[in-house]
């Protein structure tokens, strides 16, 4: 009976050894929970591309482009460069890699559209040497058109895409580049044939480059659809640069670019003009008036002619715009020169843009009127910029 009166066995949970285990287990579970949360957070962090947000940038090597990108490409990013034929996509890719070489980085150029010889021709036209840039020439289009490719049991696209993907992975693993230019997605899409296979291979490619924290520029032709960007690529990339080449009714072609997407970065929106000259691309960021406000001294600007200044109450107000109208030969240009020369005598600078007449003609007319315009230009007080309207 005494044994029956003893407390039930389950009451012994309060023993020291059991209490120790009960205290340790919550800590262990908490540690496991923290580890799981940390791992989950890292996965979310990685999926969102936020691992790049550390202000670690890699310069593009293109004048003006880093200004638009708020300092350059985020290191480790996956970027799409799309545009019309002749818009300068390949040139931009080469400039990006050459900038990496100057910084002592490993670079890699993957081409499925242009041969290595064609790349050398592009580089020579700009005075560049790309001998130190490893080039992987896959010649994908040529392989797809091989007659023997049709005799395989498997679908030709599956065979070629598998070979190309495996070769890409092997070369990336071997070189471990910091910067990559992939030219182009059009041929990669051609090999995949189906959207599902294309997206899978592109995702696998992104994951392969992510292992080595490579900053990748994917070059692609602009789509002939209503969609601005290939939807299969848009969701996988950290940024998209759209390049255009416009043909106006007169004058030279006009090129402009815009940023369609740039994850985790406040970039400069809108269209930005750019030119391609010997030496590569030069981008001119869109001017925002609020960023160029400057303090100036209030007052009047004198022409040096008392009677004329009296008509304006002492001169033209600073910070205002004045339009001079008149028929040919009434002295409009001469009056503008009068203001500029008088301000030069006062120690202030002037800038003259001339559209209709050349700089030489302007100097000759000024000399005939007794204006020493050439001296003011030599002294740096007046700058004359000749502009060709047909090239605007």
Instruction: Write out pLDDT tens, residues 325-338.
Output: 999 999 999 999 99
Q: How far apart are the first and last CA of the chain?
A: 110
Tell me what pLDDT residue 195 has: 86
Same domain, 182 and 215: yes
Side-chain half-sphere exposure of 271, counting CA atoms within 13 A? 8
> Does residue 35 fall inside a structural domain?
no
% pLDDT > 90, the chain: 59
**pLDDT band of 158, cuts 50, 70, 90:** low
Using CA atoms, how far residue 54 sits from 58, 123, 241, 304, in Å, is 12, 33, 21, 57
State residue 347's pLDDT score. 95
225-234: average pLDDT: 74
- Angstrom distances, CA of residue 346 to CA of 299, 312, 341: 14, 19, 9
pLDDT band at 251 (very low <50, low <70, confident <90, very high): confident
- Domain check: are 133 and 259 in the same one? yes
Q: How many domains does the chain have?
A: 2
Cβ 74 vs Cβ 238: under 8 Å: yes
Asked if 300 and 365 sit in the same domain, the reply is yes
pLDDT band at 119; cut points 50, 70, 90: very high
Q: Check whether residue 320 and residue 276 sit in a common domain.
A: no
Residues 208 and 108 in one domain: yes
Residue 31 pLDDT > 50, yes or no?
no
pLDDT value of position 43: 35
Distance of CA 159 to the CA centre of its chain: 35
Helix (H, G, I), strand (E, B) or coil at 328: coil
- 144 has pLDDT over 50: no
Does any domain span residue 25? no
pLDDT cut 70: percent of the chain above it: 79
Confidence class of residue 130 from pLDDT cuts 50, 70 and 90? very high
Tell whether 232 and 110 lie within a shared domain. yes
Contact predicate 220/85, CB 8 Å:
no
- Write the CATH number for 335: 3.40.50.300
Same structural domain, 249 and 328: no
20 assigned to some structural domain: no
Look at residue 283 in the predicted model and tell me its pLDDT: 98
Residue 367, in any domain of the structure: yes
Instruction: Note the pLDDT tens digit of each residue in 173-189.
Output: 999 999 999 998 988 88
Q: Which of 87-101, 194-208, 297-311 has the highest mean pLDDT?
A: 87-101
**In a domain? residue 2:** no
Q: What value does the mean pLDDT of the chain take?
A: 83
26's tokens: 């919550």
In a domain, residue 19? The reply is: no
pLDDT tens track for 277-336: 999 999 999 998 888 788 878 899 999 999 999 999 999 999 899 999 999 999 999 999
Tell me the residue range of the domain where 359 lies. 294-391
Q: What is the DSSP annotation of 225-288?
A: SSSSS-HHHHTT-SEEEEEEEE--SSSS-EEEEEEEEETT-----S-EEEEEETTEEEEEPPP-
Q: Are residues 278 and 312 in the same domain?
A: no
Same domain for 274 and 337, yes or no, is: no
Same domain, 271 and 332: no
């Amino acid at each position: 009976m005494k044994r029956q009166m003893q407390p039930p066995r389950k009451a012994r949970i309060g023993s020291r050894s059991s209490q120790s285990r009960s205290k340790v287990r919550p800590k262990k579970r908490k540690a496991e929970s923290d580890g799981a949360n940390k791992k989950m957070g890292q996965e979310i962090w990685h999926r969102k591309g936020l691992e790049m947000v550390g202000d670690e940038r890699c310069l593009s090597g293109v004048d003006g482009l880093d200004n638009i990108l708020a300092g350059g490409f985020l290191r480790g990013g996956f970027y799409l460069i799309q545009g019309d034929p002749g818009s300068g996509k390949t040139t931009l890719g080469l400039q990006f890699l050459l900038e990496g070489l100057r910084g002592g980085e490993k670079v890699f150029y993957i081409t499925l559209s242009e041969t290595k010889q064609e790349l050398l021709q592009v580089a020579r036209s700009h005075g560049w040497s790309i001998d130190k840039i490893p080039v992987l020439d896959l010649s994908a289009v040529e392989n797809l058109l091989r007659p023997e490719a049709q005799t395989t049991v498997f679908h030709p696209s599956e065979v070629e895409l598998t070979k190309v993907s495996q070769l890409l992975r092997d070369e990336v693993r071997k070189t471990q580049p910091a910067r990559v230019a992939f030219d182009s997605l059009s041929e990669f899409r051609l090999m995949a044939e189906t959207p599902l296979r294309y997206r899978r291979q592109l995702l696998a490619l992104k994951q392969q480059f992510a292992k080595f924290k490579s900053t990748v520029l994917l070059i692609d032709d602009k789509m002939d659809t209503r969609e601005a960007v290939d939807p299969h690529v848009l969701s996988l990339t950290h940024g998209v640069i759209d390049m255009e080449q416009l043909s106006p009714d007169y004058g030279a072609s006009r090129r402009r670019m815009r940023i369609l997407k740039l994850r985790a970065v406040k970039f400069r929106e809108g269209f930005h003009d750019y030119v391609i000259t010997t030496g590569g691309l030069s981008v001119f960021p869109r001017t925002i008036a609020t960023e160029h406000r400057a303090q100036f001294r209030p007052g009047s600007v004198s022409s040096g002619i008392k009677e004329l200044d009296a008509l304006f109450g002492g001169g033209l107000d600073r910070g205002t715009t004045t339009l001079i109208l008149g028929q040919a030969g009434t002295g409009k240009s001469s009056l503008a020169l009068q203001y500029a020369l008088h301000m030069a005598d006062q120690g202030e600078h002037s800038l003259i843009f001339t559209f209709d007449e050349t700089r030489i003609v302007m100097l000759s007319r000024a000399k005939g009127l007794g204006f020493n315009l050439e001296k003011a230009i030599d002294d740096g007080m007046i700058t004359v910029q000749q502009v060709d309207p047909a090239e605007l």
